[in-house]
Structures are given as structure tokens and as C-alpha cells.
Amino acid sequence: MTGRTAKAGKKSQRGRLRIVAGIWRSRLLEIADVPGLRPTAERIRETVFNWLTPHLAGARCLDLFAGTGALGLEALSRGAAEALFIEASPVAARTLQKNIATLEAKNATVRRTDARRYLLTSGADQFDIVFLDPPFADELLGDLCKLLDESSILAPDALLYIEEDRGSPEAVLPPNWQTLKTKSAGNVRYSLVKPANES
């Protein structure tokens, strides 16, 4: 989530990220001092995790472009089994690692690498839920969805959460991917997507 403007919805305390619900409810965590880095707004997270609630228990989550880790940490707080956070910024990655240590989250791992590089070299890892929230200005969503579709990273019945710029055309998704839900808040359009299941 590096390199974007602030998002709509209820704001966290300046410089702090608040976990909305679950075992870490209301915990405040540090936000790295990286220009443009903002957590997904609390109001949006409330909606997204209402959508995801039936699928969270025991889920393996991948938080690409993790930034503050707001989405992956919220998932862990609400019952996901584990989360892998991908973040290229060394400052953001260090702060995220510090927050994970503060929460004593044994089921969270940070990997400091580029999201595209990770998808090209991920090997046999598979995930039930993928959070995909790249910097809006980079217009990466279409290419990243294609990479995900061509990889073996998506478990059967996997779900993707996608954030994009409301003012830009919607990203072109791979054939047979289905948008289950979509909403907008401020400059953000966010969706829950079901990739094609080839099994």
C-alpha cells in the first residue's frame, strides 16, 4: 500500500493502526513513516471482513503489497490460521515485523520482496485468501491477476480481495473470474473476487 493518498472512511489515530475486531480488537499498532503509506480504512475493513467471515477460520492468507499489514493482521485477529506479508519497502517491512512481534503473532511472516517477483518464484505455497492492494498509480492489478491466474498459488475455492482507484477503469480480470461483491468509498473501489476453479 505504498505510494497512495489517504483512503476514505473512519481514520485511525494519526500514525497508528487500529485492529477493528477479533482477538486483537482495538490494539493500536505503529504505521511506518513512508510517504503515502496508509492502512485500509476501518470502515472498508469492517465491510470486507463481513464478506470474508465465513471463509476466515483456518485460512492461509497472502497480503501482497502489505504496507501497514492492516488486512493480513485483521484476518489473523479474526481467526485466519496464518498470513504471509509481502512488502518491498525496508522501512515498512521492519515496522510490520515490529508490530507482529508486539502482537506475539507466531502465525505471521514478513518477506521483503517485490510482489511480482514473489508471484514468479513462490513455488508450492498455496493460499485461501489473497489481499491485493497495489499502489493505485502503478496500474498493476491486471498484470498481477494474470500472474495469479497462471500460478499455482491459489488454493481451490480461493478468494481475492482487490482495492483499486475508483476514478480509473476497472482492472481487466482473467476469463472466468467472478466478481462476487463490490463497493466504493471515497476514491477507493473494492471487490471480492472468485478466481476460476479448474479442478
pLDDT by residue (tens digit) across 97-120? Answer: 999 999 999 999 999 999 999 998
> Is residue 182 scored above 90 in pLDDT?
yes
Q: What confidence tens digit (pLDDT) does each residue in 154-168 have? A: 999 999 999 988 888
The mean per-residue pLDDT over the stretch 171-193 comes to: 92
pLDDT for 145: 92
Backbone φ, ψ for residue 17 (5° rounding):
-105, 130
pLDDT for 198: 55
Residue with cell 477479533: 22
The helix/strand/coil state of 190 is strand
Is residue 7 domain-resident? no
56 alpha carbon, distance to own chain's centre = 14
Is residue 155 domain-resident? yes
Q: What confidence tens digit (pLDDT) does each residue in 33-70 have? A: 887 777 788 999 999 999 999 999 999 999 999 999 99
pLDDT for 108: 97
Is residue 33 domain-resident? yes
Cα angle 69-167-67, degrees, rounded to a multiple of 5: 10
pLDDT for 123: 73
Calpha distance 10→82 (Å, rounded): 27
> Is residue 75 scored above 80 in pLDDT?
yes
Is residue 199 domain-resident? no
Q: What percent of the chain has pLDDT over 90?
A: 65
Is residue 82 domain-resident? yes
Number of domains in the chain: 1
Please report which confidence band the pLDDT of residue 8 belongs to, taking 50, 70 and 90 as the band edges.
very low
Calpha distance 113→125 (Å, rounded): 16
Is residue 9 domain-resident? no
- CATH number where 184 lies: 3.40.50.150
- Domain enclosing residue 51, as ranges: 16-194
Is residue 90 domain-resident? yes
Calpha distance 192→182 (Å, rounded): 6
DSSP assignment of 26-69 equals: T-EEE----TT--PPPHHHHHHHHHHHHHHHTT-EEEEET-TT-
Please report which confidence band the pLDDT of residue 197 belongs to, taking 50, 70 and 90 as the band edges.
low
Is residue 4 domain-resident? no
Calpha distance 101→129 (Å, rounded): 23
